[in-house]
Structure 1
Amino acid sequence: MPLTRLTQKGVKFEWSEECEQSFQELKRRLVSAPILTIPDGSGGLIIYSDAYKKGLGCVLMQHGRVVAYASRQLKPYEQNYPTHDMELAAVVFALKIWRHYLYGVQCEIFTDHKSLKYIFTQKELNMRQRRWLELIKDYDLTIKYHPGKANVVADALSRKSTGNLAAMLTTQRRILEDLRKLRIEVRLHEPGAQLANLRVQPTLVERIKVAQAGDPHLQKMKLMVESGAPSEFCIHEDGSLRFGNRLCVPNDPDLKEEDFKEIAGYVARCLVCQQVKIEHQRPGGLLQPLPIPEWKWEHISMDFVTGFPRTPSGNDSIWVIVDRLTKSAHFLAIKVGLSLERLAKLYVNEIVRLHGVPHSLSSSDRWASERTIQILEDMLRACAIDFRGSWEEHLPLVEFAYNNSYQASIQMAPYEALYGRKCRSPICWDDIGERKILGPEIVQHTVDKIQLIRERLRSAQSRQKSYADTRRRKLEYQVGDHVFLRVSPTKGVMRFGIKGKLSPRFIGPFEVLERVGEVAYRLALPPMLAGLREDLTYEEQPVRIVDKKEQELRRRTIQYVKVQWSNHSEREATWELEEEMREKYPYLFEESGTSSLED
């Protein structure tokens, strides 16, 4: 610098033309330093946005001058977003933070993600994109493409330095690019430290080759192969000794343990292995018993038993409804395919009429329902052998026998738990029973009986939990963890593109967003699973009607239609009542394909 030389010792002070130019340039830069400007309301606002795996960055400009900078780190769940959503999040972030500048003003947004230009005409959008699009439509803006190399400022704001890598950025840029392609991140744990060298550890095969060189037995085999002696061993092109296609591992316990850990780690990180590998460990999650009810018939569980022989009245199934407190049950004969309205009417006539409306109705108490169903089937089987005739004729007797049988969990019969006294059976009419209880004693006696039942249920639940937990393992997840979802390959469950037994056992991984219970979590599911409810169930929708038929009875004719359901092939179509399908899905019968079937 000319002005700097004039200040040096031993240099003659001589103001030259070059010094004058430097002095004027210095004054100009001091009075015209680049600073933020204030929007003047004349329009022409421009936003440059960018997103990276660490954060979002954007710049607001007007007439070539910067108005504001903005950036923020990504939240843990946002790091799981696809690139399209992450770039769109940067745009939404800019619109929200500068709403007071942009609302009602025409502006342009430049992004280095080209497909974002077509967000307004994109046909298929997930729920997140639809929500953001509603916000974007409030502004008068256009989204344009800007190459990433030119989007320097916003790109820098969206990235976070992981250490002092100045030397690598300037002299070893090619190495840094290779590390980025391999998704290797270099971190320096001490502030002010510099990266002096990188050490690359040998691979699994290289470690085994080094160990082979120190094993006398393998070296002897290697010399035999090199001498041309006939042997099943061979020397691979990488210089390792192999037995056929298998690599010879020296008998070194430390090496084997290290290799097995690396192989297990590779399998654990392999997405395909995690999706198809069968589980050989104890089920995760301890048993979580349901809360014990406070009163009779306030909390009930139910299930359906199908596959019985059809009775003269047309019934082929049993609807099992059990009170979770007293264990008393009702068995209602029904037929498969009964409409929801008729089931509701039957429930009101047989259950609400006797016990009122319950607080909750659950199918989660699988153990209690399955145990009741097992007893029910055994009783019906015995009646069919001894008495013959239709099983529906014996159902009231089976219900009576069940409700008067001793239950180990409450240490009394369900009838006694429900009514507070033992039931007189038809063979013991002269058994008067307990003394008469009148007045307030009835209420107190009933309350005492309920307290006794609840204590016995609590003890039974504790025994069941301690017994079940010995065969299970405690498993908890934290927010931000990634988990897999188990998929059942049976009929009626999503197949995720592959049918039957070849469908994956697990899908994912998905990020844990929130813990909502002891063993329940809310996950960040992709758009393809948008139809799933919170309990991971979903409702299948009919796609089209494949065929139609009539069933002639003595007095009437029943119309059936063959329906193909979503996520199922035409071979898995089911026959349904045309009357019910017309009522639930009338749009199926408005298509031209159905009218041709009717003709």
Structure 2
Amino acid sequence: MDSDKVEAIRDWEVPTKVPELRSFLGLANYYRRFILGYSDIAAPLTDLLKKNHAWEWNSSCQGAFENLKAAIIKEPVLALPDFTKLFEVQTDASDFAIGGVLMQEGHPITFESRKLNDAERRYTVHEKEMTTIVHYLRTWRHYLLGAYFIVKTDNVATSYFQSQKKLSPKQARWQDFLAEFDYSLEYKPGKANVVADALSRKAVLAALLSTTSCGVLDTIKEGMEHDPVAKQLLDLARKGKT
């Protein structure tokens, strides 16, 4: 198995709080029909989501987490490409990262996520979504070129170029690149776009964890400045009360 295809899942960081666990389980649950005994495997993790259940990441949780990651990146979940079948690209863009999965008939073929660079983070919402689509079509070009496929996104990117009175050089390059492919864009609500959404969130977390210690708080504040819980935690951290 090509390690690049599964790196985004294999290197998923251990969840440290409920929202991170929900994101991971959202992805895992999407493929539960392919994972034998999914409910039993995931039980220690789903227990952590129960109301009034204290967060305690123990060895059972760690084992369940590792077992689910292993199940997602092996057969029968992960599939080899079949060029006689329709490809589907699912993408998601957040303020700080992008995520994508290439699929056929509900089975993932390859996963990928990355953080946005400084210039990309200043893009508009539509530009971030188009950046994401262009990135994954370029990444998986060897699968997609010459075949009809579907791109599913949780943003209304289908009318992006039509809404521009005049294209910038960047937008013109995107349009020229996309013209090489035979595809349709379909809107997929964020709640249904769980795999790509989880991958983009995972990339945000990875970016935070890989930041040098002197810049961690600045990165967190920038990404979560509108989150009152995060603000409270930062205040406690500064006072040495965590």
Who is 2:199 aligned against?
157
Distance 2:103 2:116 in 1: 23
1:89/1:197 CA distance change after superposition, 3 Å: closer
Task: Return the letter of the residue paired with 1:108.
Answer: I
1:71/1:148 CA distance change after superposition, 3 Å: same
1:492-571 paired onto structure 2 within 5 Å: none
Choose from 116, 119, 133 the match for 2:160: 119
Who is 1:60 aligned against?
102
Who is 1:182 aligned against?
226
Which protein has the larger Cα radius of gyration, Structure 1 or Structure 2? 1
1:197/1:138 CA distance change after superposition, 3 Å: closer
RMSD value over aligned CA atoms?
Answer: 3.2
Return 5+ residue gaps in structure 2 as ranges.
Answer: 1-35, 42-70, 210-222
Task: Return the letter of the residue paired with 1:139.
Answer: F
Distance 1:143 1:112 in 2: 10
Q: What's the CA shift string for 1:199-246, capped at 9, x where partnerless?
A: 599xxxxxxxxxxxxxxxxxxxxxxxxxxxxxxxxxxxxxxxxxxxxx
CA displacement at 1:106 relative to structure 2? 0.4
Return 5+ residue gaps in structure 1 as ranges.
Answer: 1-24, 164-178, 188-194, 202-599
1:47-446 paired onto structure 2 within 5 Å: 47-114=89-156, 116-124=157-165, 125-159=167-201, 160-161=204-205, 162=208, 182=226, 186=230, 199=236
CA displacement at 1:119 relative to structure 2? 3.0
1:44/1:131 CA distance change after superposition, 3 Å: same
1:93/1:185 CA distance change after superposition, 3 Å: farther
Contact 2:88–2:103, Cα closer than 8 Å, also in 1: yes
CA displacement at 1:122 relative to structure 2? 3.1
Q: What's the CA shift string for 1:102-158, capped at 9, x where partnerless?
A: 0001000011111x1113533423221111011001000111111011111111111
Moved more, 81-90 or 37-46: 37-46
1:63/1:135 CA distance change after superposition, 3 Å: same
Task: Return the letter of the residue paired with 1:92.
Answer: V
SS in 1 for 2:162: coil
Distance 1:134 1:185 in 2: 44
Distance 1:143 1:67 in 2: 19
Q: What's the CA shift string for 1:4-58, capped at 9, x where partnerless?
A: xxxxxxxxxxxxxxxxxxxxx66xx99x954321111113110110111221111
Q: What's the CA shift string for 1:471-511, capped at 9, x where partnerless?
A: xxxxxxxxxxxxxxxxxxxxxxxxxxxxxxxxxxxxxxxxx
1:197/1:113 CA distance change after superposition, 3 Å: closer
Task: Return the letter of the residue paired with 1:97.
Answer: T
CA displacement at 1:97 relative to structure 2? 0.4
Distance 1:60 1:112 in 2: 15
* Seq. identity, %: 32
1:58/1:197 CA distance change after superposition, 3 Å: closer
Who is 2:28 aligned against?
none
1:42/1:183 CA distance change after superposition, 3 Å: same
Contact 1:57–1:156, Cα closer than 8 Å, also in 2: yes
Contact 2:224–2:230, Cα closer than 8 Å, also in 1: no
Q: What's the CA shift string for 1:349-368, capped at 9, x where partnerless?
A: xxxxxxxxxxxxxxxxxxxx
Distance 2:78 2:226 in 1: 39
Distance 2:155 2:128 in 1: 10
SS in 1 for 2:192: coil
Distance 1:97 1:184 in 2: 37
1:196/1:51 CA distance change after superposition, 3 Å: closer
Q: What's the CA shift string for 1:351-387, capped at 9, x where partnerless?
A: xxxxxxxxxxxxxxxxxxxxxxxxxxxxxxxxxxxxx
Who is 2:87 aligned against?
45
1:140/1:186 CA distance change after superposition, 3 Å: same
Distance 2:79 2:154 in 1: 25
SS in 1 for 2:163: coil
Distance 1:117 1:77 in 2: 23
Relative contact order: is structure 1 or structure 2 higher (C-alpha 8 Å, sep ≥ 6)? 2
Q: What's the CA shift string for 1:494-535, capped at 9, x where partnerless?
A: xxxxxxxxxxxxxxxxxxxxxxxxxxxxxxxxxxxxxxxxxx
Contact 1:106–1:140, Cα closer than 8 Å, also in 2: yes
Report how many aligned residue pairs link the two structures. 151
